[in-house]
Structure 1
Amino acid sequence: MSYQPIFAQFWEKVKESIENKTYAKLTLAKTIGDTDLKNIYVRPVLLENDVFALSLTAKYKTEEIESTHTLDEAFMVLAPFINNPFLTALLFTTENDVTFKLNKKRVGSIVEQAPTFKNASNVILEMKEKGIEI
């Protein structure tokens, strides 16, 4: 069974957390072996005219590369990194922590736990204040 449909379900939870203004942060982590790419951090940003976007920061051994994408573009950019090299995606919201994991057989699962963060990201709070919808 492919893990892609489960990652798509996970991404729906990411979208819901942004729409519900509970999003704190998202991290792709736990690589397979010793890879050059160590993590990808996903933060919300407001561009000119209060346009919402996601900032992706790819942390490599020797450098960081940052790029900005729409919500749908971010999914297309991040999806290929699942299983190559990342086995885990962690979504932190004010309601719960949602973890997408791939096991050794590359079967995906989603686990929800109590929230780590009490507050949404500053950009999400600013959007809430300004009444900006996604």
Structure 2
Amino acid sequence: MPYQNVFTLFWEQVKESVEKNQFAKLTMAKTIGKPNLKNIFLRPVASENGYKVLLKFRYRSRETEDIEEELTLDEALEVVKPHLKNSFLSVLLFTTTKDVTFKINKKGMGSITENAPTFHEVIFAEKDEE
């Protein structure tokens, strides 16, 4: 199945984990080549204005500062989607009940696998002080 369709199914699992208070972390990994952008992370953040995630861009170069931004889950999706297949070939969803991995193969097909959970509790991220 084309990766876009499979990613839609994967993102449904992300939303479901948020609704059930099981979302621990999301990591975009396995970069294509050696770009300066190393990872993109999403972690839940305590917010009085509805559910928010802390989006973090982590860079390889120490000269490039990591970028953090507090977003809604829908806003985070719009930031994450353009990096699929262009920068990253896999996205890992960590929940308190299971780990879910989304991968894109060389033919542009997507797949989802599940494993035992890495995290057993939700830990809220704290934004770095500047």
TM-score w.r.t. structure 1 length?
0.84
Partner amino acid, structure 1, of 2:34: D
Q: 1:18 to 1:85 in 2, by over 3 A?
A: same
Residue matched to 1:19: 19
Structure 1 residue matching 2:2: 3-state secondary structure: coil
Q: Is the 8 A contact 1:23 1:121 kept in 2?
A: no
Partner amino acid, structure 1, of 2:44: P
Partner amino acid, structure 1, of 2:82: P
Partner amino acid, structure 2, of 1:100: F
Residue matched to 1:119: 121
Residue in structure 2 matching 1:89, options 91, 105, 109: 91
Fraction of identical pairs, as percent = 53
Aligned partners of 2:72 and 2:9: how far apart in 1?
18
CA deviation map 1:53-106 (0-9, x unaligned):
111100112320111211111111101111011001000111110000011112
Aligned partners of 2:16 and 2:86: how far apart in 1?
26
State the shift of 1:46 in Å. 2.4
Most deviating of 60-69 and 83-92? 60-69
Counting only pairs closer than 5 Å after superposition, residues 1-134 of structure 1 correspond to structure 2 as 2-47=2-47, 49-61=48-60, 62-122=64-124
Aligned partners of 2:124 and 2:71: how far apart in 1?
18
Q: Normalized per residue, which structure has more helix?
A: 1
TM-score w.r.t. structure 2 length?
0.87
Aligned partners of 2:106 and 2:116: how far apart in 1?
25
Aligned partners of 2:92 and 2:25: how far apart in 1?
8
Most deviating of 101-110 and 59-68? 59-68
Provide structure 1 residue ranges, at least 5 long, that are not aligned to the other structure: 124-134
Structure 2 residue matching 1:13: 3-state secondary structure: helix
Structure 2 residue matching 1:77: 3-state secondary structure: helix
Aligned partners of 1:120 and 1:60: how far apart in 2?
25
Provide structure 2 residue ranges, at least 5 long, that are not aligned to the other structure: 126-130
Q: Is the 8 A contact 2:45 2:124 kept in 1?
A: no
CA deviation map 1:17-66 (0-9, x unaligned):
0111111111000001111110001011123x353211110011232011
